[in-house]
Amino acid sequence: MLSLTPSGLVPLMNLSNVFRTGCAFVALTLAGATAHAAVDAWTDTTVGAGVIWRQKTYTSLYGGKQTVNVLQMEMSNSAVRVQPLRPSSGCATTSALGSSFGAAAAVNAGFFAGGDCSSVSMIKINNIISAVNPGYKPPRSTFGYNRTTKGLFIAPISSTDSWSAVNDAVGGGPNLVTNGASDVTLTAEGFDASYASKNPRTAVGYAGTRLLFVTVDGRTSAGVGMTLSELASFMIALGCNKAMNMDGGGSTAMWINGRGLVNTVSDGSQRSVVSALGVFISPPPIYTVDNTDAGFTASTNWFASTSTAGYLGSNYRTRATAAVSDAATWKVNLPAAGSYKVFARWTAGANRPSAVPYVVYHTGGSSTVNINQRQNNGTWVLLGTYNMAAGDSTRVALSCWTTTGFFAVADAVRLERQ
């Protein structure tokens, strides 16, 4: 276990699986790919809410085989957060850094001096700067993240710039993409020509609220690697409006919790590095209203019962089915607007309705879902996913108006933020 700096240990946070435009994965038509190249499909794996790991092997791209791994993060999802990671001293592998900080995934990040393992790229974690970009070089491309606004930035940052607009930052370089066009600023950032040749690569790119961490294998049977110009074209093809190069070569590594290292490292074993970029996913916020809570209302026809086990809290409410408008209603006070999964639970039995209507009120109006209460005793059952407004306008109503069964059951509802 690593000894970690306190500034790096920050709470995990929370968001929707519905991705917006930007950095969308499109069919790639890339310079250097032969017209008849055999190309495998992307393999998609959900890491957690708002985070997808994608992997693809190109049989022939940019003059040879390429294996690419991509972490795709939807940063508008409140569950997703990123931050730089570093050990308290020396270097550690990307896998060790990700695991020790409790990350969901991680990639290697900034450049460092191999002899004493000192960072030669900026590292800023939760407003604390522990390393700066080299003062003997021009300002270098640096990735930054604002925790409050969830803003994403790539900008040239000098050794004397604290970059107050962001809470977290890690340097690298050079820049690859600006405004959706290739913009490799190799000489302007003080890199020599050797950085431009084919190598294993790590890159960061984004468009809008979608962020990508990308690794490209090289110098092994997994792939030949990419030049900086090829990497820029590849990031554009992934839909990125802005992108930059990070430390690559033998440092290139992508780790995913529960899967370990997912790329093929060029040294044969994972290299220890001075910094990484970690991806964190926190559980979605859940809002539950039981039939005994203040948000629940029902007429006296809905009487309390404990005769069937499986209810939440101290009891449940039940009412004889009838062709009348007498609904039990749960009102949920939400702190923020957004997309929510809506669940309900009840105690099941043979005398329950096989089709009882739950009415969910949301920003688009209302939706009726007919539920079989003879099944799923004491479990949360999904009614659907809906956009909800902030405040107490969110309601779920259970009607007793059904021609099936004898007793409808009102126990509890739950909303889960996406």
Q: pLDDT tens-digit profile of 110-131?
A: 999 987 899 999 999 999 999 9
Strands 51-58 and 43-48: antiparallel
* Contacts of 89 by beta carbon, 8 Å cutoff, 6+ apart: 3
286-417: CATH topology is: Jelly Rolls (2.60.120)
How does pLDDT run across 153-180, given as a tens digit for each residue? 999 999 999 999 999 999 999 999 999 9
What are the residues facing 339 on neighbouring strands? 387
Which of the 8 DSSP states describes residue 373? T
Round the average pLDDT of the chain to a whole number and report it.
90
Q: Are strands 356-362 and 338-345 parallel, antiparallel or unpaired?
A: unpaired
Length of the chain: 418
Amino acid 386 reads Y
Contact 393, 334 (CB under 8 A): no
Instruction: Say yes or no to pLDDT of 13 above 80.
Output: no
Residue type at 414 in one-letter notation? R
Report CA-CA distances (Å) from 284 to 258, 281, 382, 415: 20, 9, 15, 10
* Cβ neighbours around 202 below 10 Å, total: 29
Q: What is the pTM of this model?
A: 0.69
The residue written with tokens 């090829």 in the block is: 230
The pLDDT value given to residue 407: 98
Structure tokens at 190: 């003080």
Reported as a single tens digit per residue, the pLDDT across 256-296 is 999 999 999 999 999 999 999 999 999 878 999 999 999 99
Does 30 have pLDDT greater than 50? Answer: no
Cα dihedral 325, 326, 330, 336, rounded to 10, equals: 20
* Tokens coding 112: 């460092």
Tens digit of each residue's pLDDT (9 = 90 or more) over 82-101: 999 999 999 999 999 999 99
What are the strands, taking DSSP E only, across 282-406? 286-290, 296-297, 303-305, 316-320, 328-334, 338-345, 356-362, 365-371, 381-388, 391-398
How would residue 18 be classed by pLDDT, with cut points 50, 70 and 90? very low
Whole-number pLDDT of residue 12? 27
What integer pLDDT is reported at residue 114 of this predicted model? 80
Contacts of 337 (CB under 8 A, 6+ apart): 363, 387, 388, 389, 390
d(CA 258, CA 250): 23
Q: What pLDDT sits at residue 121?
A: 98
What single DSSP character describes residue 66? E
* Ranges for all domains in the chain classified under CATH 2.60.120.260: 286-417
Task: Please report the pLDDT score of residue 78 as a whole number.
Answer: 83
Instruction: State the pLDDT confidence band at 53, using cuts at 50, 70 and 90.
Output: very high
Integer Cα distance of 29 and 39 in angstroms = 11
235 Ramachandran zone, left/alpha/beta (phi>0; psi -120 to 50): alpha
